[in-house]
Amino acid sequence: MGFFKCLKGQHPDTVGGDSSQNYAPPPGPPPSHHRKDDEHYTPPPGPPPGRNEYLPSPGPPPGRSEFLPPPDPPLSHAPSSDDPPPYHDWTVIEDTALLPPPPSLGHKTSPAGNASLSEADRAHEWCRMYPLIRPHQPAAVQYSSVQNGDISLVKPREYQGNILVTAMGNWRGSTISGNRDACLLSSLPLYFPVLDSPIHTRTKKTIYFEVKVKSYGRGRGGDASSLALGYCAVPYPTWRMPGWERGSLAVHGDDGRRYVNNTWGGKDFTSAIRAGETVGLGMDFSVQDKPPDYRASPAQTSNIKVEVFFTRNGIKESGWNLHEELDAENDLGVDGLDGQFDLYAAVGLFGGVDFEVHFNRHLWLWQPS
């Protein structure tokens, strides 16, 4: 029974041994919980040993200057012939003295007489069918006649009136009222590029003639009769006023405008030509000045400089540079007029006009200096 009592709660001090032995645990934590590691790895004060070795040194990294880029651009960006030119300082004004003058403003119609559109279309087609004739070598007698002013006028089919010579190089004419546009041309060119071109002669060549307006009658459609004086390369449609078609220029007396291969309304130039006045038109051909050394492209097509001048009653009144910049919309260029073709004197008329034409320099009111 003692054994069962022991099982029910009475615990003996020992089981199967001496109760005098004592197995109490030693003081302190068990050996597995002893803090040997904490005592051995406690960090010393201050930063860990060797930490200063990895701090960056003051100033730029060593050798940084050795890797600065060179002052010149990379080879792949070196300038080549295909690259655009260097920047141009636009604040520096170039010398524009050798550039042609800017274009004058043109007009769509004339305030005076205007021919019909059908006549203009017919003339354009005619010019396409008959190109300008190449310059020719004049005979010695022909060239001598021109230099002496012994020049005739050729009467076209459209001209209604009379014309006669009164002295060498002096012609008098009269058209009837209602006469339609007609263009008188000189029998010989006043300018022969084969002999007169300044490229060959190295001297300036001047051509000139005068027209005296004695009286005006009445013209087409109530417009005041008038005339025009100018120059033409041939062939030229003689039912058109000079200056309206290719290879021609003229100053028109009804509106005072100048026409250069211009079938529209011309450009403002001078006042109208009145009865009783003597007017003249000349052209100076000289070697073209050397253009400035930059990429401005003046609208010139030859090495000959051409200046056109106009006189009234013996006084040089105005003029223009044939190679001025052109109006792309209205101007048709200066083909035939730039010293490459023979040039004939031209007098255009409409309505009733009494007039004289002077080729003889001794009869001119204006005299070259």
CA pseudo-torsion sign 253, 254, 258, 259: negative
Separation of alpha carbons 114 and 66, rounded Å? 82
Contact (CB, 8 A) for 235 and 156? no
The residue behind tokens 């004197």 is 345
Contact (CB, 8 A) for 349 and 185? no
Q: What is the rounded average pLDDT for all residues in the chain?
A: 80
Any bridge partners for residue 106, and if so which?
267
> Which of 55-64, 102-111, 215-224, 254-263 shows the highest mean pLDDT?
254-263
Given a cut of 60, is residue 90 above it in pLDDT? no
Token pair in block for residue 242: 């000079």
The pLDDT score that the predictor gives to residue 298 is 46
Confidence of residue 82 (pLDDT cuts 50, 70, 90): low
Question: Greatest CA span in the chain, whole angstroms?
Answer: 186
Given a cut of 70, is residue 75 above it in pLDDT? no
Quick one: how far is CA 74 from the chain centroid? Answer: 37
**Regarding predicted confidence, which is higher, 274 or 48?**
274
pTM score, whole prediction: 0.68
Confidence of residue 336 (pLDDT cuts 50, 70, 90): very high
End-to-end CA distance of the chain: 171
Coil, strand or helix at 234: coil
Give the pLDDT mean for 171-188: 94
Confidence of residue 339 (pLDDT cuts 50, 70, 90): very high
Separation of alpha carbons 60 and 68, rounded Å? 13
* Number of neighbouring beta carbons within 10 Å of residue 245: 23
Token pair in block for residue 195: 């002999």
The residue behind tokens 């934590």 is 29
The pLDDT score that the predictor gives to residue 303 is 86
The pLDDT score that the predictor gives to residue 150 is 97
Give the pLDDT mean for 181-194: 97
pLDDT digits (tens, 9 = 90+) for 272-327: 999 999 999 999 999 987 654 444 444 444 689 999 999 999 999 999 999 875 65
* Stretch among 13-22, 179-188, 224-233, 255-264 having the lowest mean pLDDT: 13-22
Contact (CB, 8 A) for 200 and 191? no
H or E element at residue 260: strand 258-260
Helices (H) and strands (E) in the chain, counts: 6, 13
Q: Which residues of 307-323 are buried (b: 16+ CB within 10 A; e: fewer)?
A: bbbbbbeeeeeebbebb
Return the closest-CA partner of residue 112 out of 181, 214, 213: 181
Separation of alpha carbons 28 and 22, rounded Å? 17
